Amino acid sequence: MTLSVGDVMELAPVIPVLVVDRVEDAVPIAQALVAGGLPALEVTLRTPAALDVIRAMAQVEGAVVGAGTVLNPAQLDAAMAAGARFIVSPGLTEPLGRAAIAAGIPFLPGTATAGDIMRGMDMGLTHFKFFPAATSGGLPALKALAAPLHTARFCPTGGITAQSAPEWLAQPFVKCVGGSWVIPKGPVDMAAIEALAREAAALPR
């Protein structure tokens, strides 16, 4: 099934942001998150294992696996070859934006200013990551940006917690949030991950 970026953002209130060091952890993590109601999984390209983790998670039934921390067209190509179904970047450059649009893959570029968002809109993009959310002025800043740029929709990421997520999700221009809190530090505990995922999946929006 082909998904738009809007479809991906509607799958659940939270997109888990995953930094996975070991390929053997990929399937258990994905299974626990999907079982808990979080099917959209952002695997960041921050570890040497990331592309193999995407390959492994993409085999998990119900998982919609994307690649995060995509910085350039070469990484975009590698992520897609590994099975990524959507792409998330910390910022927006024209080469990456044009490559993602040409590839036809759902693309969620990072933005923090009106200029960032307007550049994306000039490319035809309508959905953006607001990053880093907590240190870019938080919710007051995004409210101020969303007012004049009223057709844009956002996934705030960076410093979002289980406690702060509901306030973000209550905004009509926020379709979901990105968060790492659903994956506790340390050895993989599938029961704990699934429980945290269920709580996140139940957040109102």
Selecting among 10, 129, 167, 175, the annotated active-site residue is 129
Q: How many CA atoms lie within 13 A of 153 on its CB side?
A: 18
The residue with tokens 């994956």 is: 183
Q: Which two tokens stand for residue 83?
A: 């099975």
10 assigned to active site: no
CA gyration radius for the chain?
Answer: 16
3-state SS class at 101: helix
Q: What are phi and psi of 67, to 5 degrees?
A: -110, 135
Selecting among 42, 61, 185, 199, the annotated active-site residue is 42
CA angle in degrees (0–180, nearest 5) for 101-177-166: 155
Q: What are phi and psi of 101, to 5 degrees?
A: -65, -45
DSSP class per residue in 46-111: TSTTHHHHHHHHTTSTT-EEEEES--SHHHHHHHHHTT-SEEE-SS--HHHHHHHHHHT--EE-EE
129 assigned to active site: yes
Q: Which of 132, 156, 185, 161 minimizes the C-alpha distance to 20?
A: 185
**What is the rounded CA–CA span in Å between residue 123 and residue 5?**
15
Catalytic machinery residues: 42, 129
